[in-house]
Amino acid sequence: MADLTEQQKRFLSATGCEVAYDHLTRHLYATDASIYRVKPLAVAFPKTVAEVEAITRAAHECGVPITPRGTGSGVTGGAIGPGLVIDFSRYLKRMGDFDPDTLSIRVEPGLVLDVLNNRLKRHGFVFGPEVATSSRATIGGMVGNDSSGARTLLYGTTADHVLAIEGVLVNGERVKITSKGTEPRSLGERLSQLIEPAREEIARRFSADLPKRWPGYGLDRFIRRGGNPCYIVVGSEGTLMLVTALELRVVHLPRQVGMAVLFFNSLDEALECAPQLVELKPAAVEVVDRILFDQTKGQLQFANVRQFLGLDEFMGECFLIVEVYEEVEDKLATITQWVRGARVITTIDRSKINGVWSLRKAGLSLLTAKKGPKKPVAGIEDTVVRVGQLAEYAQEIRHLLNQFGVKASFYGHAEAGLLHIRPMLDLRDVNDLGKFRAIADAISELVQRYNGSIAGEHGCGMARTEYLHRHLGPELYSVLSKIKSLFDPSGLLNPGKIIDTGVYKIDSHLRMGPGYRISLPFEPQLRFA
């Protein structure tokens, strides 16, 4: 897009909202944790709901696209866009008092998950869904992607814990969404009118046995859970409205926690064991492969957990983390009896449990630090199948990757059928970029064959929107388009995400693609990576 005119800048600044137009800020906000880059025209930092309302209305009147942003921890490019980026994480991060009677708390979207949980834990409660990026992920970002992370079988996804949503539409009009309807009421009525005629197709397309979400707007849960419009907004990736406040349901902290770590010679053995472990109704079953845990070698912060797990002596390929709540000694004993032939470590020591989780939660950071030009690439890292299909599904993916001569790391939420599969590629290399496209296309088809979901918890963003039409079919995709038009008739809210505008492809707008180079005014003498 062409740069803002001086008149447009004055119009935006006249709202009283802090707005940055300088190139440094715009470059900083051109990227997030994804592989993509889109330089915005400006970045706004609202301090109040009134400022959100004013800056949104002004951008709308100027015809400038709007992209909401938390801390930019998403991996699909959902928090970057070509127009005005609105950063909610700088100022809009307050939380209200915890209400022990309703087990709820009111928060602003820029609040970081760990900050919220540290407050709630004083009262013996926690926000159920916990993502690996909890130290920097904002609640607003989790709502945008309907994030879930580990413990999905126990706590569900973010959408299952949202009681009410307040925000503004693209024209600056305030709106409130609750389980009982919307304010204004007409918005909810028209929403139901769009979705209800597709009830049969929704039931046919969306099977209820995937614990992680289906991509796009939550049509299936809207139908199955009494027409709750919160399920449409949660997971909408900032394409329908800008969220300014949330009322969240919280859960009790478990009284007892236990962990079993099961070591396997191969990924196949581990994933074949997962369905049996799920029968025990654990809080979580996570898989960690050698590519990931080998990255902890020589790192002081992981020395104790490596010693506890015996990773220096372990010659296998992966391990499973099984977390259980209540009656933990009986459950851990059962796990030990079930898994014969595999080494099993059990513990109820909270410090050791936290140490194991710290290794798992550092997964992406550890992989990104892998030496060499090939890095773990997102794009196929969010697919979901049923846990009983997981071993066979992973075998097919490994076979596909082997055909291209590509290695990948496999880790993630085995209990929910979701593996974070990250092929090692150098996207600056034309051949590797071609492999990336071919692998993504093939896995999209594979997920359809398994009747799985292409986006379980990371959203569609720039990476998967192009595949959404073929996964949902023309009827349901048309419903999504009509919902988008209902909330955002001008098409200015995070355009090109969920509803395809043809602008973004999984292999376009790359931060580091073919031809990437950094111009330096000197000849470097040292190589640090």
Domains annotated for the chain, with CATH where assigned, are 6-87 (3.30.43.10), 104-252 (3.30.465.10), 257-448 (3.40.462.10)
Secondary structure (3-state) at 59: helix
pLDDT mean over 305-319: 94
- What is the pLDDT, as a whole number, of residue 1? 76
Write down how long the chain is. Answer: 529
Give yes or no for a cis peptide into 68 (omega within 30° of 0).
no
Confidence label for 529 from pLDDT (cuts 50, 70 and 90): low
Q: In what order do the strands lie in the sheet with 174-178?
A: 104-107, 242-249, 162-168, 174-178, 181-183
Residue 517, pLDDT above cutoff 90: no
* Residue 24 scores a pLDDT above 90: yes
The pLDDT value given to residue 214 = 76
Characterize 471-505 residue by residue with b for buried, 16 or more Cβ atoms within 10 angstroms of its Cβ, and e for exposed: bbeeebbebbeebbebbbeeebbbbbbbbbeeebe
Q: What is the DSSP string of 183-237?
A: ESHHHHHHHHHHHGGGHHHHHHH--TT-SSPPSSS-HHHHHHTTT-THHHHTTST
pLDDT at residue number 435: 98
Q: Retrieve residue 112's tokens.
A: 């970081």
The verdict on pTM exceeding 0.85 is yes
Q: Which helix (H) or strand (E) holds 392?
A: helix 390-403
Q: How confident is the model at residue 439 (pLDDT cuts 50, 70, 90)?
A: very high
Q: Which residues of 227-266 are buried (b: 16+ CB within 10 A; e: fewer)?
A: bbbbbbbbbbbbbbbbbbbbbbebeeeeeebbbbbbbbee
* 151/130 Cα distance (integer angstroms): 8
Q: What is the mean pLDDT of the chain?
A: 95
Are residues 4 and 42 in contact, defined by beta-carbon separation less than 8 angstroms?
yes
355-387 tens-digit pLDDT? 999 998 887 787 887 888 999 999 899 999 999
Of residues 319 and 524, more confidence is placed in 319
Q: What's the pLDDT at 528?
A: 63
Confidence of residue 323 (pLDDT cuts 50, 70, 90): very high
Averaged pLDDT, 198-225: 90
User: Can you give the C-alpha Rg of the chain in angstroms?
Assistant: 23
